[in-house]
Structure 1
Amino acid sequence: MTSQTYTGEVAVGGAAQVRTLEHLSITKVAVDQKMSNNCYLLACRDTGDQVLIDAADVPETLLALIDGRGLSAVITTHQHWDHHRALAAVTAEHPGAVVAGQEDAEAITEQTGVQVTVSVSDGDRVQIGDSSLEVISIPGHTPGSICLLYEDPNGHPHLFTGDSLFPGGVGATFGDSAAFAQLIDNVEAKIFARLPDETWVYPGHGTDTTLGAERPHLQEWRERGW
C-alpha cells in the first residue's frame, strides 16, 4: 500500500514528499541549490524509529523533518563531500549510529570529524524499528559506496542508490575505465540480476526511477562507457 501522490520529484527549497507504505514511511527532500542532493528520512510506522540516509546539507531542513523524534542511525551512502555536509550538525542534535560502507568509513570520519561507528558491507542490515534495510555494496563510484534495499512484505522493493545508479545511467567514475567496469558490473549483477522491474529507485540526486525503466539501457551504458 502506498500513497497515491508521491512522485519523487522534489525541488531545493520546496516541500518534501512523503511515501507511506504499510510499515514504513519515506520522506524525500532536496537540499543545496548547486548540488541538489536528495536526503531520505525513513520511519518505522510501528515503532516510530527513524533513520536518515545522507545528511547532505542544510541541517535546519533535516532537523525540521526529524522533528524531535530522534534518529536511531544516519547512513552515508558514500564518501563524497556533498553527501555528508550536515552529518556533524545532525548527529550533534540526534546521537545514534553513524553508518557507512567499510571502504569509505575512514574518509567520511576524516572529512566530517564524525566517527563512523558502524562500518557495513554486503548483506549487513540496518534496523528501522520492526523493519530493516539490507546493505548492498556497490564499489565503483567510490570504493565503499553502498545501496540500501527495503523489501516491502506487501509491495515492491525500494532501493536507495546514492550515486551508484540514476535515471539514465550509473554514477560518474571520472574517466576511470576500470572503475566504470567495476561499477556497471556490480550494478548489473547485484541489482538488475536480482531485483524485479517494479523496484523503485531513490537516487542521491534528481528524480526517482524504476529498474524496469532502466533495464533496457544497460548495454547502451556499457558501450558508451559512462
Structure 2
Amino acid sequence: MTYHGAVKVGGPADVRELAHLMITKVAVGPMDNNAYLLRCRATDRQLLIDAANDAPVLLETVGERLDTVVTTHRHGDHWAALEEVVSATDAQTAAGRIDAEGIPVPTDLLLDDGDTLRVGEVSLKVRHLVGHTPGAIVLIYDDPQGHPHLFTGDCLFPGGIGNTQGDPERFRTLLDDVETKIFDELPDETWVYPGHGNDTTLGAERPHLAEWRERGW
C-alpha cells in the first residue's frame, strides 16, 4: 500500500516502508497530534517522536520494545503520554536542551543543534529551531537510497511555520531558522512529517516562503 500520511484520531496508523527504516504515523489526543514510530529494519530498535497523548494507542503501536522517546518541544500536547509510555517501556527520553526544563518527565539525553541521534543503524540529524518554543528540535533522516525525511514537530506545517503567538521577533527567528537550516540545506523532495495534520514536501512549500514572511505568520 502507498503511504499517504492522512491519519485521524481513532483511525488506523499509516506505515511507510523505506530500505532501512519503517515509519509509522498515528494520530492521538484531543488536539489531533501526530506521533511517529521509527524502527530500524536491521536491528528492530525503535524510537518514538512525541508521546503526545493516548498512551494505550502508542503502546499498542510500539509493541514489545521501545528504546527512545524524543519530545520535539515543551508544549504539553506533545508529552501528555510521556510518563506513562516511559514507565511501561523503560525507554530513554530525549529533548532539546533548552526545552527540557519545561518537560515534567526527566530528560536523559539533552540534544543540541547538529547532534546525531541513532535508532539502531539509522542516524537522525538534530536541528534546533527557535521561535515556536525556545528549544524546539526537528529530526532529519537522510535516506541513502532515497530522499530526506524531516520530522518538524510544530515548527513547519503545510502552509506555514509554527505559531509564534503574534510575536514579530519570534516569528522572524523561526522563519529565519526554517529557511537557513531546512530549506537552504535540504532538497525539494524532502518529505515533511509535522506534529499535527497532513504531511507535505519542501518543494510544495518553498514557493511560499516570501509570502509567509510578508504576512507575518
One fold, TM greater than 0.5? yes
The separation in 2 between residues aligned to 1:139 and 1:71, in whole angstroms, is 29
The correspondence of residues 1-226 of structure 1 with structure 2, limited to 5 A, is 4-32=1-29, 34-68=30-64, 70-109=65-104, 114-226=105-217
CA apart distance, 1:219: 0.3
Residue identity over aligned pairs, in percent, reads 59
- 2:43 aligns to what SS in structure 1? coil
- Please state whether the residue corresponding to 2:70 is helix, strand or coil: strand
TM-score by length of 1: 0.95
Which runs of no fewer than 5 residues in structure 1 stay unpaired? none
1:126 shift after superposition: 1.3
**CA distance in structure 1 between the partners assigned to 2:109 and 2:211 by the alignment:** 37
Q: Give CA-to-partner distance per residue, 1:65-116, whole Å, 9 cap, x none.
A: 1111x1111000000010000000000011122100011001113xxxx210
Displacement, 1:15?
0.1
User: How many residues of Structure 1 are paired with residues of Structure 2 in the alignment?
Assistant: 217
Structure 2: runs of 5 or more not aligned: none
Question: C-alpha deviations, 1:127-176, integer Å up to 9, x for none?
Answer: 11000111010111000000000000000000000000000000000011
Distance in 2 (alpha carbons) for counterparts of 1:81 and 1:144: 14
TM-score (norm 2): 0.99
SS of corresponding position for 2:69: strand
Dislocated runs of 4+, deviation >4 Å: none
State the one-letter code of the partner of 2:27: A
Separation (CA, whole Å) in 2 of partners of 1:15 and 1:53 = 18
RMSD: 0.7
Return the letter of the residue paired with 1:55: A
Give 1:94's aligned amino acid.
Answer: T
C-alpha distance in structure 2 between counterparts of 1:14 and 1:72, whole Å: 25
The CA distance in 1 between the partners of 2:134 and 2:31, in whole Å, is 21
User: What is the CA deviation profile of residues 46-79 of structure 1, one whole-angstrom value per residue up to 9, with x for unaligned ones?
Assistant: 00000000000000000001111x1111000000
